[in-house]
Amino acid sequence: MPPFARFTILRTGVACLALLLAGASAAAFDLQGHRGARGLSPENTLPAFEKALRTGVATLELDIGMTSDGVLVVSHDPKLNPDITRGPDGTFLAGPGKALTAMTLEELRSFDVGRTRPDSRTAKSFPEQTPVDGTRIPTLEDVFALAERLGAKDVRFNIETKSSPAPDAGTPEPRAFATALAKAIDKAGLGERATVQSFDWRTLMALKEVSPDIPRVCLTSEGNFDTLQRGKDGGSPWLGGLDVDDFDSVPALVTEAGCTTWSPNFRNLTQPLVEEAQEMELAVVPWTVNETDDMARLIDWGVDGLITDYPDRARTVMAAKGLPLPAPVAP
């Protein structure tokens, strides 16, 4: 073989290896756009998901509920949220609206979720959010179709089942919910690009039975919203029959639940917990991290990803830390 040919092959091989390593590194840090990009566009809407994709994320994080006619729709709240919902007459709801489970998709489509009520806590929390009037609550299928249409062939979907063990929650029955979601993921051919997360681990355990190959993400929260409920007689109803007091740590609890990823409230996380979870082969992806100082600290701790309302801020921090950035979808 002539020397120039050997050099060409070597150079090509090195280039290919570099690309492979770069791709592996990029995949190693999971930048997730929370509810699309809630800090920039109306939450859980097609404009928010497009904004996240145009900004550049590895994963779209989204919430789902179910209508009375069995359609999976993308919404954080089990009832229409008056801070972000206007009726057909264009005025914001006076109070919490009907439960999603009490409305058909056609009924739900009559509401506008394209801007926040100006005097609401939501509006004050997200002053950079750009309204998009006329925006409707999308179906899960709509979100899958958007990513396909925009050519986002590698983006992943982290889908949260908005379920609650409270008897008056008005959320879908866990097994029916998990079954419907598994069917939707399979129909879209996204089994290798989807994870399912929940605070209500009953849905995760049902999903394990219905479709064990779909990776599951255990969400946890301690504080005002406490899903672990340490010391509670009989354990927390959020944990699907497990009791945190039976385990040495939360990562051990998550491992027993069969999740591959632990997503805690970032305020509940410590570096030793990150290290312990990763020693148990759990990925650690905290929520919802919006301030750059917090992002930088968590990256330094070695977390596997971040869920954030501001993927643009996270990209700036990632770049400063030398992490490869997910490619934005081209206009």
Alpha-carbon distances of 163 from 60, 71, 150, 257, rounded to whole Å: 19, 15, 30, 17
Alpha-carbon distances of 37 from 54, 306, 313, 315, rounded to whole Å: 10, 13, 11, 13
Q: What percent of the chain has pLDDT over 90?
A: 91
**Can you list the domains of the chain with their CATH numbers?**
29-320 (3.20.20.190)
Give the C-alpha separation, 155 to 137, whole Å: 21
Both structure tokens of 179: 């079954």
Residue at token pair 């990776």: 215
Q: How far apart are the first and last CA of the chain?
A: 45
Residue of 97, 174, 186 lying closest to 141 (CA atoms)? 186
DSSP string, 145-197: HHHHHTT--S-EEEEEE----STT--PPPHHHHHHHHHHHHHHTT-TTSEEEE
SS3 20: helix
For the purposes of burial, counting CB atoms within 10 Å of the CB of 19, is it exposed (0-12), middle (13-18) or buried (19 or more)? Answer: exposed
Both structure tokens of 306: 């971040």
Give the C-alpha separation, 135 to 198, whole Å: 26
Residue 80 near residue 175, CB atoms below 8 Å: no
Give the C-alpha separation, 280 to 260, whole Å: 10
Specify whether the backbone of 34 is left (phi greater than 0), alpha (psi in -120 to 50) or beta: beta
Give the C-alpha separation, 137 to 74, whole Å: 6
Residue of 11, 98, 32 lying closest to 290 (CA atoms)? 32
Model pLDDT for residues 203-218, shown as the tens digit of each residue: 999 999 999 999 999 9
pLDDT in tens, the chain (331 residues): 444 344 333 333 433 433 343 344 434 799 999 999 999 999 999 999 999 999 999 999 999 999 999 999 999 999 999 999 999 999 999 999 999 999 999 999 999 999 999 999 999 999 999 999 999 999 999 999 999 999 999 999 999 999 999 999 999 999 999 999 999 999 999 999 999 999 999 999 999 999 999 999 999 999 999 999 999 999 999 999 999 999 999 999 999 999 999 999 999 999 999 999 999 999 999 999 999 999 999 999 999 999 999 999 999 999 999 999 999 999 8
Question: What is the phi/psi pair of residue 304, to 5°?
Answer: -90, -10
Model pLDDT for residues 87-134, shown as the tens digit of each residue: 999 999 999 999 999 999 999 999 999 999 999 999 999 999 999 999
Residue 185 near residue 91, CB atoms below 8 Å: no
Cα dihedral 34, 38, 40, 45 sign: positive
